[in-house]
Amino acid sequence: MGKIIALANQKGGVGKTTTTINLGASLAVLDKKVLVVDADPQANASSGLGIDIRDVKLSIYECLINGNEAKDAIISTEVEHLDIIPSHIDLVGAEIEMLNIENREQLLRQVLQPLKELYDYILIDCSPSLGLITVNSLTAADSVIIPVQCEYFALEGISKLLNTIKIIKSRLNTSLEIEGFLMTMYDSRLRLANQIYEEVKKPFRELVFDTVIQRNIKLSEASSYGKPALLYDAESKGALNHIQLAQELIEKNKKRK
């Protein structure tokens, strides 16, 4: 049975999509079968993995709203063992359309449940909001990775997200766990980056990943070419950081079994 991990933080620009794409590719290179679910209407994870969203016939939107089967929406990527269910701009209106559907918070869980036996990891790229689609993602997930940017206002908003996780855990998904806090856009030359890492480490201790994702131009360049960093420049810091993260995640989950 695979594990569903949501990558969430309602603060935009913290590296959620970049992490989803590159962690997914790194896990796949380490021989894990991985599915990325793009649950963000901006569809950046889809285009970042080389999908032309204008050609997409079936997206996560049709699965949620029209009841299409998720396996029919799966597209293979350039990376062996890495698939994606793409997103679409239509997802913007999905929150309103879902309001009249019974058990609306459980829709994504129902969509993804049949796929758990086909993959080792299913990574959900959440949108930068705490709306109904993100609530669906957290309800469907076994755990959540919270990317935190190494900057002054990093901790702002985390309490809001943690509160949402707490509510979802008590009402919708009792088994939801925090997989870990991931420090992104880390610049070791800045004292501030080290201070913020320590500040996050204090209350959350072993929940903070040892791996940090360093600030790296190759990561954003790779996405603009529709490739994970591993295919764009396998020797880049960004590619190596995510391989390290994937190894840490696999090890962490081995210990839990």
The Cα–Cα gap between 86 and 55 comes to 11
Task: Quote the pLDDT of residue 178.
Answer: 95
Sign for the pseudo-dihedral over CA of 170, 175, 176, 181: positive
Per-residue pLDDT tens over the stretch 200-243: 887 888 899 999 998 888 988 998 899 999 999 999 999 999 99
Q: What is the 3-state secondary structure (H, E, C) of 85-120?
A: ECCCCCHHHHHHHHCCCCCHHHHHHHHHHHHCCCCC
| DSSP-based helix, strand, coil % in the chain, nearest 5 | 50, 20, 35
pLDDT in tens, 13-66: 788 999 999 999 999 999 999 999 999 999 999 999 999 989 999 999 999 999
pLDDT in tens, 14-27: 889 999 999 999 99
